Structure 1
Amino acid sequence: MGGAMALTLGALAYPSMLGVNTVSSDQTRIIAQTQWGPLTEGDRDFVVKVRAAGLWEYPLGQIGLQKGSSKGVLEASKHLVDGHSALDASCRKIAPMLNITLPNIASPQQEGFVTQLKAESGKQFDTDFANILRMTHGAIFNTIAKIRSTTKNSLVRALADQANDTVLDHMTVMEKTGLVDFDQTIFNQTTPPKLPSTDTTPPPPPAGQPQVVLTPPPNPTSTPLDLSGLGGGGSTGGAAPNPSPSAG
């Protein structure tokens, strides 16, 4: 991978690239007591992170299906569309139950990845597509594991299970393209620059704006969460006041 690619990734990479800033620096701070267990700052942010991921990776999957010039990239693109449509449905299902406000567009940083790849074609597109998406999925993988092992909220735990399976699948299909430069990608994944919160925070949706829905492909292989065995219902009783995803 050339120097131009390294500079591009270095300018955009950030380990919490699927997330938003928190109201408090303490991710364990409880912001609500719900019938599914306490909801922490980290739990809330995680739900928003998963939603934000789909808002830029799903359209990139659609772009990859149109512009990909290799079998591996075309296959990876199918996985992005399939996996993120199901994850997004799960986020939209549990967010109102936990009184969490979801964004309708990704962060400026995430939109920067989309803008970059829209302008590319051929081998350059395939290479940058595989490396950017391997980097972003690798960056969030450890976050998912931490949430899954520490959350006391059963809805967040179920979402973490689904996200873990999806992200692992997406990392794997990116690697199978044969285009991933592991040295550069892992370097950018683990030693990112510090970016201002305005770059890494998806804006809250305007009041009354319809919620964006990521439509599943015609023959989906991934399915949203089945919450029937988790107890409770759709009530938001006991949840926190509506927390904005842009809270800093």
Structure 2
Amino acid sequence: MILAMMSTAAALLVPVVRSAGSYRSPQAGEASPGTVQTPTGPLTPLDRDFVKRVRLAGLWELPAGRMALDKGGTPEVKTAGEHLIAGHTDLDRAVLEAAATLNLGVPEEPSDQQKAWLKQLDAAQGEEFDRLFANILRNAHGQVFAVVAQVRAGTQNSTVRDLATVTNSTVLDHITVLENTGLVNYGALSGPPGGSSSPSAKPVPAPGGTQR
């Protein structure tokens, strides 16, 4: 979904959609090699997808964090931006090392959808930016959290396991600081991804409609 900011009033109805950094198991019929052997254990299609999407998450969440430092209207939003920058700087280093160990190519720029979200955040100002930042990023991290645990619990590859451990800690920290902004509408968050279907998008409420 590509969401455009037409006006401040229209933006109040813009949905927070499924995370750009959310993961899912490759579905039957998708072009993907099967499990391959590596020096650190078998590498499944889900393992490969996980590594690539951890890289993608950093490619758009780092710029989003910098926007929060520059445009955030509250100390809590700026703090969340600082945590995003610090966390994804370290995580990006870890995922590049993992990819090199696994001889796995990773993306070099955000997806078109991620670029659209960055454009949406870039166009917003003041309270509107704070609200969108907190809800888009919190929704993204909530989508990631459940699947990171799945990968961490099930992978037989020690490199992927180590990366999932670091990712889990980073995502939990980011969820916490985003919630500390006081702007997250919990009722509008998407649930964990299930199967091949995307969660239904829900509108972000206007400031003052925040659910705690």
TM > 0.5 fold call:
yes
d(CA) in 2 for partners of 1:70 and 1:23?
A: 42
Q: Report how far residue 53 of structure 1 moved.
A: 0.3
If the length of structure 1 is used for normalisation, what is the TM-score?
0.69
Q: 1:191 aligns with which of 183, 199, 210?
A: 199
Do structure 1's residue 7 and structure 2's residue 11 form an aligned pair? no
Q: 1:172 aligns with which of 165, 169, 176?
A: 176
* Seq. identity, %: 40
Which runs of 5 or more structure 2 residues have no equivalent in the other structure? 1-8, 202-212
2:109 aligned partner: 105
d(CA) in 1 for partners of 2:180 and 2:15?
A: 23
Alpha-carbon contact 1:67-1:122 (below 8 Å) kept: yes
Total equivalences in the alignment? 188
Alpha-carbon contact 2:77-2:130 (below 8 Å) kept: yes
Alpha-carbon contact 2:21-2:54 (below 8 Å) kept: no
d(CA) in 1 for partners of 2:52 and 2:111?
A: 11
Alpha-carbon contact 2:19-2:141 (below 8 Å) kept: no
Equivalent position amino acid for 2:55 in 1: R
Do structure 1's residue 56 and structure 2's residue 60 form an aligned pair? yes
Deviation by residue 1:154-176 (Cα, 9 ceiling, x = unmatched) = 00000000000000000000000
If the length of structure 2 is used for normalisation, what is the TM-score?
0.80
Alpha-carbon contact 1:94-1:155 (below 8 Å) kept: yes
Do structure 1's residue 81 and structure 2's residue 89 form an aligned pair? no
- How has the CA–CA distance of structure 1 residues 188 and 120 changed in structure 2, closer, same or farther, with 3 Å as cutoff? farther
Question: CA-atom RMSD, angstroms?
Answer: 2.6
SS for the counterpart of 2:144 is helix
Alpha-carbon contact 1:18-1:52 (below 8 Å) kept: no
Q: Report how far residue 187 of structure 1 moved.
A: 6.2
Equivalent position amino acid for 1:75 in 2: T
Q: Report how far residue 106 of structure 1 moved.
A: 1.1
1:31 aligned partner: 35
2:4 aligned partner: none
- How has the CA–CA distance of structure 1 residues 192 and 29 changed in structure 2, closer, same or farther, with 3 Å as cutoff? farther
Alignment of 1:78-227 (within 5 A): 78-186=82-190, 191-192=199-200
Do structure 1's residue 68 and structure 2's residue 68 form an aligned pair? no
Which runs of 5 or more structure 1 residues have no equivalent in the other structure? 194-248
